[in-house]
A and B are shown apart, each in its own frame.
Chain A
């Protein structure tokens, strides 16, 4: 074939501008591999066309480039899509999932901490409560004992200050010179109170016994222990008594006094 005729036939322009048919294109491609002149002629027209198109360019809206770059930014690049390349970790997803589990972990940790704190508070308030109860009970007991003592003191004071009460000072006998006690005797009500001042402690099978001596006959006024020291003891009533006496008797007292063991004796102002 005549190459020059072929080149000037318009096939080059037709081919380059996309107006050649399939068969024309195939023939042209084939001939290009054989004739460098044909390739050069094609290239010449392509360059002219490109130059002309560039000179007659029209600036597109700037938004187009933004959209294009946005679109291709999302497309995977060749390097990362190759099978040998490391697996792509979606940072957004992995970080968001980490954030998610982090949040869960935080909530779980917070729950545990809250539980511990609540348990500690519960334990604290329980022990505090128990402690307060104990203290309260102790205070109550202390108050009760103090109150009873106070009442006894008040009672004692009443007796002491009562104008109707006669105080009988009992002094030790020869067998027990240090023994001493006071009898508060209300002559109107016949109440007899004993305040032990100093009485030796007795064996557990023995007790002191108070007697009233009426017309030289003893009358039992009850037994008491030495431990009840300084506390007013209410004894049995008696309307009459010329004297009071304390003897040591067997525990529980005796029907008649063992006079040999008389510890203390006090005479009243009452006469026979």
Chain B
């Protein structure tokens, strides 16, 4: 009875800020899949953990909706960054690291991760599929920066590439990525 089937983004944000459960249901039904996909592209080896992160992400969305600022981007962008940050935090958590028992712990962790990342271009989904179209040197940087959450400084050190070059390459990679999203 009068329950809207769809919301404009403006309506949805207002309803969510009013703690409208109906709106939250709509939000989940429409965005959980997209966010779950990005979480799984970051947490690649543990579906159960990815589900836990998705759960945590939506709870955080509900709790932090007040802090969402429409002037700084779309709702989905905001949620996507929450999902990405939560995934990377999980990836870097001690418990996750401990679960990776067969993972070697070399002197230079960064280099190791970088090497793994270069070799690890199998079974890509979502945005990673687009990455496949990038040049290898670009792809690795986006992989490390976006999907592994390394800072430009960290990548510079890992790859032995100057910080300015890292930044430029990542920007160029993202511009190409944008082209592929068309």
**Interface positions of A (Cβ within 8 A of B):** 8-11, 13-14, 16-19, 21, 29, 32-33, 42-43, 45-54, 56-61, 63-65, 67-69, 71-72, 75, 77-79
In the bound complex, how far is the Cα of B76 from the Cα of A128, in angstroms? 89
What are 29 contact pairs spanning A and B, CB under 8 A?
A10-B172, A10-B175, A13-B177, A17-B146, A17-B174, A19-B146, A19-B170, A19-B174, A43-B74, A48-B178, A49-B77, A50-B34, A50-B76, A52-B181, A53-B34, A53-B38, A53-B80, A53-B127, A57-B34, A58-B125, A58-B126, A59-B33, A61-B51, A69-B24, A71-B55, A72-B24, A72-B59, A72-B63, A79-B18
Give me 13 other A-B pairs in contact (C-beta within 8 A), A8-B175, A45-B178, A61-B51 excluded: A18-B85, A33-B71, A53-B127, A56-B34, A58-B37, A60-B33, A64-B51, A64-B54, A64-B55, A68-B59, A71-B55, A75-B63, A78-B17
**Is B91 close to A, CB under 8 A?**
no
Contact call B28/A68, Cβ cutoff below 8 A: yes
Contact partner of B171 (CB less than 8 A), chosen from A14, A47, A64, is: A14
What residue in chain A is nearest B126 (Cβ atoms)?
A: A56
Contact call B77/A68, Cβ cutoff below 8 A: no
In the bound complex, how far is the Cα of B37 from the Cα of A52, in angstroms? 11
In the bound complex, how far is the Cα of B25 from the Cα of A229, in angstroms? 115
- Counting residue pairs across A and B whose Cβ atoms lie within 8 Å, the total is 130
With a cutoff of 8 Å between Cβ atoms, the chain B residues found around residue A69 in the complex are: 21, 24-25, 28
Contact call B59/A42, Cβ cutoff below 8 A: no
Contact call B76/A10, Cβ cutoff below 8 A: no
Contact call B152/A21, Cβ cutoff below 8 A: yes
Contact call B36/A46, Cβ cutoff below 8 A: no
Contact partner of A13 (CB less than 8 A), chosen from B36, B84, B175, is: B175
With a cutoff of 8 Å between Cβ atoms, the chain A residues found around residue B127 in the complex are: 52-53, 56
**Is B19 close to A, CB under 8 A?**
yes
Query: Interface residues of B, CB < 8 Å — how many?
Result: 51
Within 8 A of A (CB), among B9-65: 17-19, 21, 24-25, 28, 30-38, 40, 51, 54-55, 58-59, 62-63
In the bound complex, how far is the Cα of B171 from the Cα of A13, in angstroms? 8
Contact call A10/B174, Cβ cutoff below 8 A: yes
In the bound complex, how far is the Cα of B28 from the Cα of A60, in angstroms? 11
**Is B81 close to A, CB under 8 A?**
yes
Contact partner of B28 (CB less than 8 A), chosen from A21, A47, A65, is: A65
Contact call B34/A48, Cβ cutoff below 8 A: no
Contact call A79/B37, Cβ cutoff below 8 A: no
Contact call A57/B145, Cβ cutoff below 8 A: no
Most buried by A among B28, B73, B84: B73
In the bound complex, how far is the Cα of B31 from the Cα of A213, in angstroms? 145
**Is B72 close to A, CB under 8 A?**
yes
Contact call B73/A57, Cβ cutoff below 8 A: no
With a cutoff of 8 Å between Cβ atoms, the chain A residues found around residue B35 in the complex are: 53
Contact call A71/B36, Cβ cutoff below 8 A: no
> Shortest CB–CB separation between residue A13 and chain B, in angstroms?
4
Contact call A47/B54, Cβ cutoff below 8 A: no
What residue in chain B is nearest A15 (Cβ atoms)?
A: B73
Contact call A56/B81, Cβ cutoff below 8 A: no
What residue in chain A is nearest B63 (Cβ atoms)?
A: A75
**Is B129 close to A, CB under 8 A?**
yes
> Shortest CB–CB separation between residue A147 and chain B, in angstroms?
96
> Shortest CB–CB separation between residue A232 and chain B, in angstroms?
111
Contact call B55/A58, Cβ cutoff below 8 A: no
Contact call B37/A53, Cβ cutoff below 8 A: yes
**Is B182 close to A, CB under 8 A?**
yes
In the bound complex, how far is the Cα of B158 from the Cα of A79, in angstroms? 50
With a cutoff of 8 Å between Cβ atoms, the chain B residues found around residue A42 in the complex are: 73
Within 8 A of A (CB), among B144-182: 145-146, 152, 170-172, 174-175, 177-178, 181-182
